Amino acid sequence: MAGTDRSKSRRDGDTGPAIILVEPQLGENIGFAARAMANGGLSDLRLVRPRDGWPNDKAVASASGADSLLDAARLYGSVESAIADLRRVYATTARPREMRKPVVTIRQGVKDIRKAVLREERCGILFGPERMGLTNDNAALADTLLTIPLSPGFSSLNLGHAVMVAAYEWYQAGDSTPARSLPRSKTPPATKDELIALFRHLESELDTCGFLKDKAKRPSVVRNLRSLFQRSEMTEQEVRTLRGIIVCLTEGRRRPRRGSDA
* Interface contacts to a second copy, rule CB under 8 A: 32, 35-36, 38-41, 64-66, 96-97, 99-105, 107-108, 147-151, 153-158, 160-161, 164-165, 168, 171-172, 175, 177-183, 185, 235
CB of 226 to a second copy, least distance (A): 20
CB of 137 to a second copy, least distance (A): 18
CB of 42 to a second copy, least distance (A): 9
Nearer to a second copy, 107 or 223 (CB): 107
Nearer to a second copy, 109 or 124 (CB): 109
Beta partners for 144? Answer: 90
- Does a cis peptide bond (omega within 30 degrees of 0) precede residue 188? no
What is the phi/psi pair of residue 232, to 5°? -80, -5
Cα angle 116, 119, 120; round to 5: 90
Nearer to a second copy, 53 or 149 (CB): 149
- The residue type found at 54 is W
DSSP 16: S
Residues 6+ apart with CB under 8 A from 242: 198, 202, 229, 234
CB of 119 to a second copy, least distance (A): 18
- How many angstroms separate the Cα of 180 from the Cα of each of 174, 177, 262? 17, 8, 50
CB of 255 to a second copy, least distance (A): 32
Nearer to a second copy, 56 or 170 (CB): 170
- How many angstroms separate the Cα of 121 from the Cα of each of 1, 157, 174, 192, 262? 12, 29, 17, 56, 82
Nearer to a second copy, 174 or 218 (CB): 174
Nearer to a second copy, 120 or 175 (CB): 175
CB of 19 to a second copy, least distance (A): 14
Distance CA 133, CA 93 (A): 7
Distance CA 19, CA 44 (A): 6
